[in-house]
């Protein structure tokens, strides 16, 4: 999914912050990176705090061409869903509920012998409207540690324009690196990676 100019491989157990302004295509990029694991029998779990779980599931399904993949959604909007793979919590501020659901899905994946899973969190920004930074930091520390210990891959979206720079800097301490997304002056999306390469990559077109 990534152009080779950015990165050829990401180590298991890596957590990355996907940072970009509104309408920059962060969610699409995040879902594409999750879907990339499907041909290798990697599962995917999406935590959504912006869009209903059913909508996220439909978008993800269109990217994997009906492959039989372990896929689950944690819907933080309390949305009703007819799909049994969509698990709801009451609000983006229900960090305890999100953690419980994630632990249950990790247990289910283990029972189904799904060894590798890609986790997408879209997005951290709404959570900061419900909980303070210190509480979110503690929650993310546990969440990212679970991903690291299982050798999974974590991708967490955030809108830097919605928060003070200090907030983003504090949260970014929990992550191994960052994927920055922007809309180019001439149109189209560009991305670069910082933290998991020896130096930041150049901005590379995604479209």
Question: What average pLDDT does range 136-151 have in this prediction?
Answer: 98
Condensed to tens digits (0 to 9), the pLDDT of residues 3-12 reads: 676 777 889 9
Q: How confident is the model at residue 16 (pLDDT cuts 50, 70, 90)?
A: very high
**pLDDT classification of 52: cutoffs 50, 70, 90:** very high
Does the pLDDT value for residue 70 go beyond 60?
A: yes
* pLDDT on residue 197: 84
CB environment 129-155: b (16+ within 10 A), e (fewer):
eebeeeebeebbeebbebbbebebbbb
Do 199 and 7 meet the contact criterion of CB atoms below 8 Å apart?
no
Distance CA 38, CA 69 (A): 6
Average confidence score pLDDT of the chain: 94
Question: pTM of the prediction?
Answer: 0.95
Output the pLDDT for position 31. Answer: 95
Q: Where are the domains of the chain?
A: 15-181
Write the CATH number of the domain with boundaries 15-181. Answer: 3.40.50.300
Please give the angle made by the CA atoms of 23, 32 and 161, to the nearest 5 degrees.
30
Strands (DSSP E) found in the chain: 15-19, 43-48, 71-75, 86-88, 117-122, 153-158, 177-183, 189-194, 204-205
Q: Which two tokens stand for residue 95?
A: 């960090």
**CB–CB of 157/51 below 8 Å?**
no
Instruction: List, for residues 150-199, the tens digit of each pLDDT value.
Output: 999 999 999 999 999 999 999 999 999 999 999 998 888 999 999 998 88
Residue 85 has pLDDT above 90, yes or no: yes
DSSP letters for 56-93:
HHHHHHHHHTT----EEEEETT----S-TTEEE-S-TT
């Amino acid at each position: 999914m990534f152009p080779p100019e950015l990165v050829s491989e990401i180590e298991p157990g890596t957590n990355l912050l996907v940072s970009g302004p509104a309408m920059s295509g962060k969610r699409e990029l995040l879902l594409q990176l999750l879907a990339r694991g499907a041909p290798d029998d990697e599962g995917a779990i999406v935590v959504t705090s912006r869009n209903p779980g059913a909508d996220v599931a439909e978008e993800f399904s269109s990217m994997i061409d009906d492959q039989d993949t372990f896929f689950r959604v944690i819907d933080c909007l309390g949305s009703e869903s007819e799909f049994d793979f969509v698990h709801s919590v009451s609000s983006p501020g229900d960090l305890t509920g999100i953690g419980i659901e994630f632990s249950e899905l990790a247990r289910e994946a283990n029972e189904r012998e799904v060894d590798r899973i890609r986790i997408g969190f879209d997005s951290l920004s709404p959570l900061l409207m419900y909980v303070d930074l210190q509480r979110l930091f503690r929650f993310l520390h546990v969440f990212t540690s679970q991903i690291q210990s299982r050798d999974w891959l974590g991708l967490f979206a955030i809108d830097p324009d919605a928060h003070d720079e200090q907030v983003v800097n504090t949260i970014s301490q929990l992550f191994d690196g960052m994927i920055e997304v922007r809309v180019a002056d001439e149109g189209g999306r560009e991305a670069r990676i910082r933290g998991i390469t020896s130096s930041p990559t150049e901005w590379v077109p995604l479209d």
